[in-house]
């Protein structure tokens, strides 16, 4: 049995449509019109123990709604899901103790308490034995470099420090499944890296099954061998991150360094991205890479030549159009 399984999971939100003006407001008292949004539309996938899966899509694609259903915060409108064998929205105690949802845009810690006491409250909620709690706090604060901030009020922590404390709170009860919704949002690059390194280490050591959403492609590239792409509530791709480029891009990039200045034109070979006297970057159809390399070698004094896939950010723009992925 997979750790996470979804079959046709669907969520439709029904919202009251309010028109402008007093007349419309009075009319609304007698006759209400509703708009339906299919936030998650028959989503199916399986995730095995220890997998680290990136869940990507533009704003409003349905990522958070899916994670909320998987962690039992929302009831679906249709379909099925199981997490560790439990139906999440039945909210059985056995499941709640084995999963964690961290939402980067929301606070789970008590704002007016020092971080240590806020963690202490989580210890009580999850009935974590004191010794285990102390060991986890020592280990996690050291790894995330926030030991000195334990006595600081949560409201006074920087965003990066607070997010690290949130992560510690989410991990105190040693969940087997972790849903991370934008855990690095707004963090400076150093904190982003600390959190990323920590998550990589945690996943490898504990074999925790993790679903991660992030708008930072570096998070995904470093952490997630597998990605699920979702748009308008539907899964558009599910597979290895490396496969996205071959599936969605018909082109490769050829980069050439010349041993002396070159002035001839290369536009007949492909789409020239950049040309300097001693450098060339050209995008060419996959099937023509070998022929283009031969032509460049024939035409100019080449010192170095590399062929690469287009950057993953570019792929995302191609997959999702210009909306923010």
Q: Footprint of ligand ATP on this chain (CB under 6 A)?
A: 13, 15, 37, 39, 57, 59-65
Question: How far is the C-alpha of 284 from the C-alpha of 8, rounded, in Å?
Answer: 39
Nearer to ligand ATP, 15 or 260 (CB): 15
Q: How far is the CB of 34 from ligand ATP (least distance, A)?
A: 11
Nearer to ligand ATP, 13 or 126 (CB): 13
CB 319 within 8 A of CB 325: yes
Q: How far is the CB of 288 from ligand ATP (least distance, A)?
A: 37
From residue 59, give the alpha-carbon distance in Å to each of 43, 133, 180, 215, 323: 17, 37, 16, 9, 7
Pairing relationship of beta strands 209-213 and 52-56 according to DSSP bridges: parallel
Nearer to ligand ATP, 28 or 60 (CB): 60
CB 242 within 8 A of CB 264: no
Q: How far is the CB of 281 from ligand ATP (least distance, A)?
A: 31
Nearer to ligand ATP, 36 or 138 (CB): 36
Residue whose C-alpha is closest to residue 146's, from 187, 205, 177, 206:
187
Nearer to ligand ATP, 64 or 191 (CB): 64
Q: How far is the CB of 308 from ligand ATP (least distance, A)?
A: 28
Question: How far is the C-alpha of 41 from the C-alpha of 231, rounded, in Å?
Answer: 10
Q: How far is the CB of 258 from ligand ATP (least distance, A)?
A: 43
């Amino acid at each position: 049995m997979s750790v996470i399984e979804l079959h046709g999971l669907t969520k439709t939100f029904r919202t009251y449509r309010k028109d402008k003006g007093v007349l419309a407001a009075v009319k609304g008292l007698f006759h209400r019109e509703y708009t339906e949004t299919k936030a998650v539309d028959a989503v199916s996938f399986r995730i095995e123990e220890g997998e680290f899966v990136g869940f990507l899509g533009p704003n409003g694609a349905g990522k958070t709604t899916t994670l909320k259903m998987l962690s039992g915060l929302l009831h679906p409108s249709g379909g099925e899901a199981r997490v560790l064998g439990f139906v999440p929205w039945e909210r059985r105690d056995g499941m709640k103790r084995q999963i964690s949802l961290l939402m980067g845009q929301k606070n789970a810690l008590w704002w007016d308490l020092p971080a240590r006491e806020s963690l202490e409250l989580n210890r009580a909620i999850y009935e974590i034995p004191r010794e285990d709690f102390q060991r986890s706090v020592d280990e996690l604060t050291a790894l995330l470099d926030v030991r000195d901030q334990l006595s600081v009020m949560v409201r006074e922590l920087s965003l990066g420090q607070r997010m690290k404390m949130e992560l510690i709170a989410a991990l105190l009860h040693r969940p087997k499944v972790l849903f991370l919704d934008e855990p690095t949002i707004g963090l400076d690059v150093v904190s982003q890296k600390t959190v990323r390194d920590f998550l990589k280490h945690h996943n490898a050591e504990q074999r925790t099954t993790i679903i991660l959403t992030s708008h930072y492609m570096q998070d995904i590239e470093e952490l997630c061998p597998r990605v699920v792409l979702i748009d308008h509530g539907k899964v558009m791709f599910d597979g290895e991150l490396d496969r996205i480029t071959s599936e969605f891009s018909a082109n490769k990039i050829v980069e050439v360094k010349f041993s002396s200045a070159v002035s001839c034109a290369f536009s007949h070979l492909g789409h020239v991205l950049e040309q300097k006297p001693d450098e060339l970057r050209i995008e060419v159809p996959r099937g023509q890479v070998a022929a283009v390399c031969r032509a460049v070698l024939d035409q100019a004094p080449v010192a170095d030549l590399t062929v690469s896939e287009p950057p993953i950010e570019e792929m995302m723009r191609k997959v999702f159009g210009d909306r923010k992925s």
